[in-house]
Amino acid sequence: MRLQSQLPALFASVGVAAHIFGGASSSSQTIISSSDSESSSAPHYRDTLLHLHKSLVEIPSVSGSEAAVGHFLADYLTDLGLRVELQAVPSSNAAADEKPRYNVLAWPTKSKVPRPKVLVSSHIDTVPPFIPYSISEGDKVTSDTEISGRGSVDAKAAVAAQVTALLDLIQSPEHEDFPAEEVMLLFVVGEETIGDGMRHFSDSLEQLEPKPTFDAAIFGEPTEGKLACGHKGFLGCTVKATGHAGHSGYPWLGKSANEVLMRGLVKILDADLGSSERLGNTTVNVGKFEGGVAANVIPEKAEAKIAVRIAIGPQETGAVVIEERIRDVLKSVDDEAFDISCNNGYGAIDCNCEVSGFENITVNYGTDVANLKGDHTRYLYGPGTIFVAHGPNEALKVKDLEAAVEGYKKLILHALKN
């Protein structure tokens, strides 16, 4: 099924995008067309791509507060002729003021029940804090123009590029036989926290009869425009230590939970928890540490939260192995003081990276790849680098976005044929 008749203005000009984005834009900055010297080399979709990316970044969507960007994206895709559904995602927080959150599902067919072969997905939530959109100064936008703001890389760049790639394939005269009805877009919430958006979508497939199955899923994350062969697994743990309170002047009469916990954490950091040739060492980050009530009181309780990036597999059991090794390390420090609880665990992830025309990479961060159940081929690819994501200098260049559009087009076509 082709939607060319419904998309005549999509890439012809920025008029459609300007109309759609008018209500969402809060920035005084205006994206100006490319300079004359670049006009011949700039892709025909540059203005539409940049306006979509701009509008997505301008809408704050820290995990847990993704409703506004979800509604915007749903309206945008509906206006372009796609069938769109908002999938409500139950919140893990039962607070009364919790706003609704939605996964955005879209497919280029009028069928109520899609049967796509390929899923194209990324996430619409970001880490805090919100950083406003900005674009490097200059009279004209060029391929080297830099765009910054929270989510400009992780992962609204992937969202904008994926949408543009699919719609360009639908309209392109070079792909008249493109099977648009075999592709679905999915943009999820909660990836930056517990992956509840993708988990909910995956679980919802089990309720459908017949159950939809994907031959392939393309996940959008910052991979420097390279195709990832996989990434480290993950395990989140809370480590608690219990001691005996007392006066700090007589430390031998008590037992410092802080001291016990610190010794345990240092030994974990120094331990060889597991490594692989592809992903290197398993690493541990002590992200939070709390303990004690006052400087002159021997602390009775202490607690730390750690994030473990797992270099060993398989996906199903790698985290179990690492958790047992951590428990053994803590027992060697004190076999009575510690209590540990872990969740969201999975071992090292494998992805397909055997696609002509792509450089390869492996990454250390976690993704939603592990949260989508099923026996499908998995591809991980996207614009920008993780080294600026989550930081105050999150940014990428126009040429990175445009290259990602072409990359996603190649991956979609490859996945449909294999």
Annotated catalytic sites, by residue? 191
User: How far apart (Å, rounded) are the C-alpha atoms in residues 291 and 240?
Assistant: 9
Close Cβ partners of 198 (under 8 Å, ≥ 6 residues apart): 121, 123, 188, 190, 191, 368, 371, 372
N- to C-terminal Cα separation, the chain: 20
Angle at 328 between CA 324 and CA 331, to 5 degrees: 135
Please name which of 83, 119, 118, 125 lies closest in space to residue 103, comparing C-alpha atoms.
125
What are the angstrom distances between the C-alpha of 356 and each of 106, 185, 216, 362?
28, 23, 17, 17
User: How far apart (Å, rounded) are the C-alpha atoms in residues 403 and 250?
Assistant: 65
Q: Fill in the amino acid letter for 205.
A: L
Please name which of 334, 311, 335, 287 lies closest in space to residue 127, comparing C-alpha atoms.
287
Tokens of 178: 């493109």
Number of residues that make up the chain: 418
Orientation angle between helical segments 156-171 and 67-79, nearest 10 degrees: 10
CB atoms within 10 A of CB 271: 15
CB atoms within 10 A of CB 389: 24
User: How far apart (Å, rounded) are the C-alpha atoms in residues 381 and 401?
Assistant: 12
